[in-house]
Amino acid sequence: MERGSARLTIAAYTSDLAQFAEFLEKRRQRLTDARREDVRDFIQELFSNSLDGRSVGRKLSAIRHFYRYLLLDGKIEKDPTLNIDSPKQWKVLPKSLSRDEVEATLAGTQPRNESARSQALALRDHAMLELLYASGVRVSEVADARLEDLKLDMGYILVRGKGDKERMVPLGVPAQQALQQYLKGGREVFAKKRGSPLLFLGTGARRLTRQRVWQLVRKASLASGRHASPHMLRHSCATHMVENGADLRTVQTILGHADISTTQIYTHVALDRLKSVYAKHHPRAKAKV
């Protein structure tokens, strides 16, 4: 019985290492070249694919033992699993899209035909996607956005979030242009002279439901090869801002988090960037002692 259990453990560890090797291969890396950030990203991907903490812990254990063996055997100089948090302590980042995947999604709203309705749908959906990514707004905040909240001349939108709290969120040029085009050539097709305070309208000037917005995002994201959601665009906005140097307080304000602790899930993104910048620019970052 013990022998059979040992065989199962060896088979599981072998499978875990093979999975990590496959992950590295996509990055054109070998097992002996793995860095700490590769291990972290692998664990992050496992959690993003809804793998439970116990299974992630086993995979991390297999990788740890493998690199300790390589270190003792002199095959590597540094253990990439050193100081990696245990799965119980791991703060899981929500799923986000890469920048290329975002671009493909934003471009995935082409009109089906030349009809006025098809053209209007494309303009509306593109403006909505640009807003979701540019401002990191929640799906309910998009559905409830009012025409009067949009201040294109000043480059921001007034967002009414949870608890009726208001925040001003800046808009980038692409989002401003997409919204301008929608207001100019799309919104009136849905309004049909019916008064509505809402920014985004459905058929008969009706409010778009949360489910409808989810459907629109998912359909557009097929061009990227992913099944994205409004929530993923929100987290992509935050992740890409932090990667480009935004501080967590700014991200907190834009996302409308009541507590900074909610925003701190992006801390490791900020730390990874900090280390990358330090390694690139500090004269003694790579100096050999």
Tell me, yes or no, whether 284 lies in a domain: no
Tell me, yes or no, whether 68 lies in a domain: yes
Contact 189, 117 (CB under 8 A): yes
Residue 52: which residues within 8 A CB-CB, separation 6 or more? none
Tell me, yes or no, whether 139 lies in a domain: yes
Residues 228 and 196 in one domain: yes
Residues 105 and 199 in one domain: yes
User: How is 19-32 classified by DSSP, letter by letter?
Assistant: HHHHHHHHTT--GG
How open is the CA angle 111-115-116, to the nearest 5 degrees? 95
Residues 201 and 226 in one domain: yes
Residues 33 and 121 in one domain: no
Residues 121 and 83 in one domain: no
Residues 52 and 186 in one domain: no
Residues 120 and 151 in one domain: yes
Kindly report the backbone phi and psi dihedral angles of residue 226, in degrees, each rounded to the nearest multiple of 5, phi listed first: -115, 165
Q: By residue range, what is the domain housing residue 115?
A: 99-270
| Alpha helices (H) in 27-172, listed in sequence order | 36-48, 53-72, 99-106, 116-135, 139-143
CATH number at residue 58: 1.10.150.130
User: Per 3-state DSSP, what percentage of the chain is helix, strand, and coil (rounded to 5)?
Assistant: 65, 5, 30
Contact 106, 134 (CB under 8 A): no
Cβ neighbours of 232 (radius 10 Å): 24
Question: Of 92, 110, 143, which residue sits at a domain end?
Answer: 92
Give helix 53-72 / helix 36-48 axis angle, nearest 10°: 160
Residue 90 or 264, more confident: 264
The predicted model scores a pTM of 0.65
Residues 168 and 77 in one domain: no
Residue 15: which residues within 8 A CB-CB, separation 6 or more? none
pLDDT single digits (tens) 105-142: 999 888 888 898 999 999 999 999 999 999 999 999 99
The two tokens of residue 176 are: 């401003």
In the sheet that 166-170 helps form, which strands lie side by side, from edge to edge? 150-151, 156-160, 166-170
Least confident of 40-44, 94-98, 164-168: 94-98
What is the total count of domains within the chain?
A: 2
**Catalytic sites, residue numbers:** 138, 162, 231, 234, 257, 266
Residues 116 and 223 in one domain: yes
Cβ neighbours of 250 (radius 10 Å): 13
Helices (H) and strands (E) in the chain, counts: 13, 3
Tell me, yes or no, whether 275 lies in a domain: no
Tell me, yes or no, whether 168 lies in a domain: yes
Q: 158 - beta bridge partners?
A: 168
Residues 72 and 111 in one domain: no
Residues 181 and 124 in one domain: yes
Look at residue 34 and tell me whether its pLDDT is greater than 50.
Answer: yes
Cα 184 to Cα 218: distance, rounded to the nearest angstrom: 25
Tell me, yes or no, whether 279 lies in a domain: no
Tell me, yes or no, whether 283 lies in a domain: no
pLDDT single digits (tens) 197-231: 999 999 888 999 999 999 999 999 998 888 899 99
Tell me, yes or no, whether 221 lies in a domain: yes
Cα 11 to Cα 39: distance, rounded to the nearest angstrom: 21
Of the candidates 108, 200, 100, 110, the one whose C-alpha atom is nearest the C-alpha of residue 150 is 200
Least confident of 54-58, 93-97, 251-255: 93-97
Residues 237 and 255 in one domain: yes
Contact 157, 169 (CB under 8 A): yes
> CA 106, 111, 112, 117: dihedral to nearest 10 degrees?
130
Kindly report the backbone phi and psi dihedral angles of residue 166, in degrees, each rounded to the nearest multiple of 5, phi listed first: -105, 145
Question: Of 31, 66, 92, which residue sits at a domain end?
Answer: 92
**Highest mean predicted confidence (pLDDT) among 61-70, 104-113, 174-183:** 174-183
Look at residue 182 and tell me whether its pLDDT is greater than 70.
Answer: yes
